[in-house]
Structure 1
Amino acid sequence: MLRAIIFDVDGTILDTEQAILQSLQRILREETQQDYPFEALRFALGIPGKDALQRLNVDDIEAVHQKWSAAVLDFSHEVAVFESLEEVIQHLATKPLQMGIVTSKTAQEVVDEFEPFGLSEYFQHIVSASDTEKHKPHPEPLLKCLDALQVAPEEAIYIGDSIYDFQCAKQAGAKFALAHWGAKSTIGFEEADYVFYEPKDILAIVK
């Protein structure tokens, strides 16, 4: 029985790809005097910013992460809720379901980058990267959200767009649905429980 639907944010609710990659590209140019093409930075989508900077061997991760978070806001005009997803979320909120969010954004990034879209009220609980010691693909963030919602993993679906989301859901024992509108490919997601090609597909699993 489905009792909870939990969403990722970047690439699932919000189309943030351009804002994240353009801001990261700019900060790396300023900090390292190196030009990184988008393809070399795409791995940073879907994991905490500090983890991405660590993989890029940035020296002062804390300071650079703060600059990057500020720079993302300069590209906020590039960010939008995926088409028709707001209506889907509003419809889901009328159902006897718990709704949650598990995101790699920090708590401050949730305030700055997600809350302005006015969707927070539809979710009973939000888990950010600030709320757990371990992050996706580790199951801890999803398990923390499920615990707060008082829902067993097998009664929940996690909707995300990255392989980290998929691994997090599987390790937590929850079902996983691929947000194809953000992922753009099903490669690597052959074992996903669902593939949603557009937001309204979510409604097919809700009675």
Structure 2
Amino acid sequence: MFTTAIFDVDGTILDTEEPILKALQNTLKEELDLEYEKEELIFTLGIPGREALNRLQIQDVERIQSAWEENILSFVKDIKVFEQMDVVMKQLANKNIKMGIVTSKTNEQMINEFEPYGLNDYFSEIITASHTEKHKPHPDPLLACINQLAVEKEKAIYIGDSIYDLQCAKSAGVAFALALWGSKTQKGFEEADYVLEQPSDFVKLF
């Protein structure tokens, strides 16, 4: 029986794929005159922006990351909480389930892109890319959250939508639930302990 639920944010709680990728496309075009198709940038979802830009071999990472974050703000209106997700959190809270977040967003991004939805109070601990030196898929962020929550990792489950989330959970020795509404595919997620078709399925694990 799980007693602790730890959530990824992008693609799990919030539907952010289009805004993030559009903002990155615009930034690369405006700042560097580089054109990418959305499919070429999907790999950037689920890892810190700095790492994503490094993988794109961008030279001036600090400047481009700042411009990217500014661009995302222009698409904030397009970010949505996945349907059922607020109900799921209420139900878990009513079951006295401890809840945490492990995300590749920075503290500032969480303030700008997550706090407006009024969900913070559900979570006893939020670990962002600003809190750990190593990031997903490394296990450190998830282990830090579990440590701060003071729970046994065998009784915790991490829910996410990216391969980095799966790898993070497996490296940490924590059960993993695939949020199919965010990942849109099971390919590559054969090691997932649970595959959830909709958010309400997550409550059934507690």
Does TM, scored on the shorter chain, surpass 0.5? yes
1:15 aligned partner: 15
Shift of 1:189: 0.8
| DSSP 3-state at the match of 2:114 | helix
Helix, strand or coil: the match of 2:31? helix
Q: Deviations over 1:151-188 (max 9, x none)?
A: 12111100000000000000001000000000000001
Partner of 1:30: 30
Pick which of 25-34 and 160-169 moved more.
25-34
Which residue of structure 1 aligns with residue 203 of structure 2?
203
Structure 2 residue 181 is the aligned partner of structure 1 residue 174 = no
Is 1:192 the counterpart of 2:156 in the alignment? no
Cα shift readout 1:67-121 (whole Å, capped 9, x = no counterpart)? 1111101001210000111111111111122100000000000001000000000
TM-score normalised by structure 1 residue count? 0.98
Residues 39-75 of structure 1 deviation map (CA, whole Å, 9 limit, x = unaligned):
0000001100000000111111111111111110100
SS at match of 1:93: helix
Taking the aligned partners of 2:145 and 2:191, their CA distance within structure 1 comes to 23
Corresponding residue pairs, total: 206
Q: Matched residues in 2 for 1:112 and 1:187: separation?
A: 32
Corresponding residue number in structure 2 for 1:147: 147
**Aligned position for 2:50:** 50
Note the alpha carbon deviations across 1:114-144, whole angstroms, 9 max, x for none: 0000000000000000000000000000000
Secondary structure of 1:167's aligned partner: helix
Could you list the runs of 4 or more consecutive aligned residues of structure 1 that deviate by over 6 angstroms after TM superposition?
Answer: none
Q: Any residues of structure 2 matched to 1:86-105 within 5 Å, and which? A: 86-105=86-105
1:80 alignment partner in structure 2: 80
Residue 17 of structure 1 aligns to which amino acid in structure 2?
Answer: E
CA distance in 2 between counterparts of 1:31 and 1:67 reads 8
The amino acid across from 1:78 in the alignment is D
Letter in 1 for 2:28: L
1:69 corresponds to: 69
Aligned position for 1:132: 132
Q: Which residue of 2 aligns with 1:116?
A: 116
1:7 corresponds to which letter in structure 2? F
Say what the alpha-carbon RMSD is for the aligned residues. 0.7
Measure the CA separation in 2 of the matches of 1:34 and 1:144. 37
Secondary structure of the structure 1 residue equivalent to 2:27: helix
User: What runs of 5+ residues in structure 2 fail to find an aligned partner?
Assistant: none
Alpha-carbon distance in structure 2 between the residues aligned to 1:63 and 1:151: 39
Letter of the structure 2 residue corresponding to residue 60 of structure 1: D
